[in-house]
Structure formats: structure tokens, C-alpha cells
């Protein structure tokens, strides 16, 4: 959650977690979080980021402390890193701000059990969110999180009947011709066709330290056929069929080498209104790409590398 000096200051300038939280004070204030903390000889509280239960309580506490969101996670599901999700939300804010939009509507592709992007968008910015999810356990938990925070009027959790579909199932079932201003996605990272999908190392150990956090999430959340490249390619293909339904299409990527692959794929399909960015938090870097079929949607000032 908190990294070295270089990475910390590369966070989005409005990210509230640019300033490291005082975990000692927060442990005193939040009982459940206090129970998973470790007390050092100096009296300061430390966090074991390699413990899944600790990560769950940490994320729950930070959402409560900074956004007054009461969130839970389905057993074995992905525990989102708040600093990273905030970077993504803030980047979207930057792209939408010059458009002077009223009543912003967004799509969260694969909201997971936490529904964190939709909750943050609705609570922080008053956005109206469509949260798409295919896993039944996650759908039930996401709907509970929405209800628990009294955001039913802002967030719809839609049960995807077809896992291979991105927008198609919803748009075909929706009688009204709704239009959305953006979509966001944290796609499955690994390739399920790989003999050892979780065994590959995408990092350069000489240049980037090993991640501090333990990996969380079910195989369904972390893997798909072809990994994140093919998943984002599916979004691109469906975006071509829904050019007027969504203003700005975006997705995050976990591997830097995959960014040019996606940019080439967009170029091959003559989609030229494209921008990219990087998200920094702790030892972790993620990348994101945005594209639009409307010329005015992406301006040169929307990049925040």
C-alpha cells in the first residue's frame, strides 16, 4: 500500500494514500483492523501484507476510514488494493472533467465481490454505475455491498448470463437505449491455457522488487483464455459494435509488454483516438489504455504518465 519515495510520489496527485496512513492511530480506532496488526518493539503498528486476512481487514478499514464505505468480500475472492483502484478512478475523473458532463454513467466490467470501483465512483463522485459480473458468489456479495451502503439508486449489479460477453448480454436485454460515458476493467491477469498460469514471472528482479502483497482471488477472477491481452481484445471487438453506447472505453493492464500489443490491435482496427497512462502504488506499477470513437472525447491533456 505504501512504497518507496519514487513510487509514492508517482501516485496520482489527488490520491489520498500518497500520504502514508498512520496505522498505529487507525489500529486504535478500528477494532477489527487492530486484531490483525503486529506490534513492534517501538510501539508502532506494522502490517503483514503477505497475510490474506490482514489484507482484507486493511482494505475494509481504509474504505471505512476514507470513504465511509462498509464493504465485505466473498470467501476466496479478490481483495482489491485501494491505492490502485483510486488511481484508476482519478484518471477517469481527469478524462471526464473537460467534457463537463451531467449525470455521469459508467460500466464496471467484472465488478468482483467487492464492487469497489462502482462503490467508489458512486460514493465519491455521484456516478451512476452498471456493475457487470458472472460469478454467482460475487454477484450476491456485490449486491449486499451496494445495499449495505444504501447505493441501490446509483449502482445496478447485473448478472452476466454469458461469460464470453462483455456488453452484449446487457445491451440486448436493455429495452431503453442507455448511453454510458465510460467503462473500466481490471481484466483477468493470467492465461488459463498456460501449463502453470501462476508460475510465470513478469517482473525484472534487478529493476523491480518483488510484490509485497500476497496474491488473492479465485482462479476465475485471475485467469482466462489468453490472459489479459485476449480479454481486452474482446472488449475492443465489442466496443466496435457499441461505438455510440459508450463514450470512452478503458482497461487496466498488468504487464507492460502487453501495452504495445493492445495499441497495435487498436491501430489494426483503425481506432486512432487512444491514450495511455501508468498507475504507481508501492512496488507495483499498472498500465491503462483508453480509446474512443468520438473525436472530442480524449484530449491531449488526459494522459497522466
Ordered DSSP codes for 260-300:
HHHHHHHHHTT---EEEEEEEETTEEEEEEEE-SSTTTS-G
CA distances from residue 302 to 50, 65, 95, 277, 296 in whole angstroms, order as listed: 35, 29, 5, 9, 12
> pLDDT at position 173, please?
85
The least confident of 14-18, 91-95, 209-213, 260-264 is 209-213
Q: Mean pLDDT, the chain, as a whole number? A: 84
Q: Which helix (H) or strand (E) holds 94?
A: helix 82-96
Please tell me the least confidently modeled range out of 22-31, 69-78, 200-209, 281-290: 200-209
Q: What is the pLDDT of residue 220?
A: 53
CB 249 within 8 A of CB 217: no
Close Cβ partners of 64 (under 8 Å, ≥ 6 residues apart): 30, 70, 71
> For position 165, what pLDDT does the model report?
87
> pLDDT digits over 246-269, tens only?
999 999 999 999 999 999 999 999
All structural domains of the chain, each given as residue ranges with its CATH number in brackets, are 70-194+209-302 (3.40.50.150)
> For the purposes of burial, counting CB atoms within 10 Å of the CB of 5, is it exposed (0-12), middle (13-18) or buried (19 or more)?
exposed
Give the residue with greater pLDDT, 81 vs 221: 81
Q: How far apart are CA 52 and CA 58, in angstroms?
A: 10
CA distances from 223 to 112, 186, 268 (A): 13, 12, 26
For residue 43, give Cα distances in angstroms to 55, 75, 215. Answer: 21, 32, 29
List the grid coordinates of 283.
512496488
Q: What is the DSSP string of 110-142?
A: S-TTT-HHHHHHHHHH--EEEEEE--HHHHHHH
Specify the residue for cell string 493492445: 262
Q: Is the pLDDT of residue 60 over 80?
A: yes
pTM for the whole structure: 0.85
- The phi and psi torsions of 231 (rounded to 5 degrees) equal -65, -45
The pLDDT confidence band at residue 284, using thresholds 50, 70 and 90, is confident
Can you name the residues that pair with 11 across neighbouring β-strands? none
pLDDT at 230 over 90: yes
Whether the per-residue pLDDT at 303 is higher than 50: the answer is no
* pLDDT at residue 264, as a whole number: 97
The percent of residues above 70 in pLDDT, for the chain, comes to 82
Question: Which whole-number Å values give the CA distances from 235 to 7, 158, 162, 181, 199, in the listed order?
Answer: 30, 17, 14, 15, 26
Q: Specify the pairing of strand 274-281 against strand 105-109.
A: unpaired
- What pLDDT is attached to residue 272? 93
Asked if the model's pLDDT at residue 224 lies above 70, the reply is no
Could you tell me what percent of the chain has a pLDDT over 90? 66
- Residue 301 in this model has a pLDDT that exceeds 80: no
Residue 225 — very low, low, confident or very high, per pLDDT cuts 50/70/90?
A: low
46: pLDDT strictly greater than 50: yes
pLDDT band of 226, cuts 50, 70, 90: low
Pairwise CA distance, residues 61 & 71, whole Å: 9
Question: pLDDT value at position 207?
Answer: 43
pLDDT for 56 equals 93
Instruction: Please answer whether residues 105 and 180 qualify as being in contact, where contact means their C-beta atoms are separated by less than 8 angstroms.
Output: yes
Amino acid at each position: 500500500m505504501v512504497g518507496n519515495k519514487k513510487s509514492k510520489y508517482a501516485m496520482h496527485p489527488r490520491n489520498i494514500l500518497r500520504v502514508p496512513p498512520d496505522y498505529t492511530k487507525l489500529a486504535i480506532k478500528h477494532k477489527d483492523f487492530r486484531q490483525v496488526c503486529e506490534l513492534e518493539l517501538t510501539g508502532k503498528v506494522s502490517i503483514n501484507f503477505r497475510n490474506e486476512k490482514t489484507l482484507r481487514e486493511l482494505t475494509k478499514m481504509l474504505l471505512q476510514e476514507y470513504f465511509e464505505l462498509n464493504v465485505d468480500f466473498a470467501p476466496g475472492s479478490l481483495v482489491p488494493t485501494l491505492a490502485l483502484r483510486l488511481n484508476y478512478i482519478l484518471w477517469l475523473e481527469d478524462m471526464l472533467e473537460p467534457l463537463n458532463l451531467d449525470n455521469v454513467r459508467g460500466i464496471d466490467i467484472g465488478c468482483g465481490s467487492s464492487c469497489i470501483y462502482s462503490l467508489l465512483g458512486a460514493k465519491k463522485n455521484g456516478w451512476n454505475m452498471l456493475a457487470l459480473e458472472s460469478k454467482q458468489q460475487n454477484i450476491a456479495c456485490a449486491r449486499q455491498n451496494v445495499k449495505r451502503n444504501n447505493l441501490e439508486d446509483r449502482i445496478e449489479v447485473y448478472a452476466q448470463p454469458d461469460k464470453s460477453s462483455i456488453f452484449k448480454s446487457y445491451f440486448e436485454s436493455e429495452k431503453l437505449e442507455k448511453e454510458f460515458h465510460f467503462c473500466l476493467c481490471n481484466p483477468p491477469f493470467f492465461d488459463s491455457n498456460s501449463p502453470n498460469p501462476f508460475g510465470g514471472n513478469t517482473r525484472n528482479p534487478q529493476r523491480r522488487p518483488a510484490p509485497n502483497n500476497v496474491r488473492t482471488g479465485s482462479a476465475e477472477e485471475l485467469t482466462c483464455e489468453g490472459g489479459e491481452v485476449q480479454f481486452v481484445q474482446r472488449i475492443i471487438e465489442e466496443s466496435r459494435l457499441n461505438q455510440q453506447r459508450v463514450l470512452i472505453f478503458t482497461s487496466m493492464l498488468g504487464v507492460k509488454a502487453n501495452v504495445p500489443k493492445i495499441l497495435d490491435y487498436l491501430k489494426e482496427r483503425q481506432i486512432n483516438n487512444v491514450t495511455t497512462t501508468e498507475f504507481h502504488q508501492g512496488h507495483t506499477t499498472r498500465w491503462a489504455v483508453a480509446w474512443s470513437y468520438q473525436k472530442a472525447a480524449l484530449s491531449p491533456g488526459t494522459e497522466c504518465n
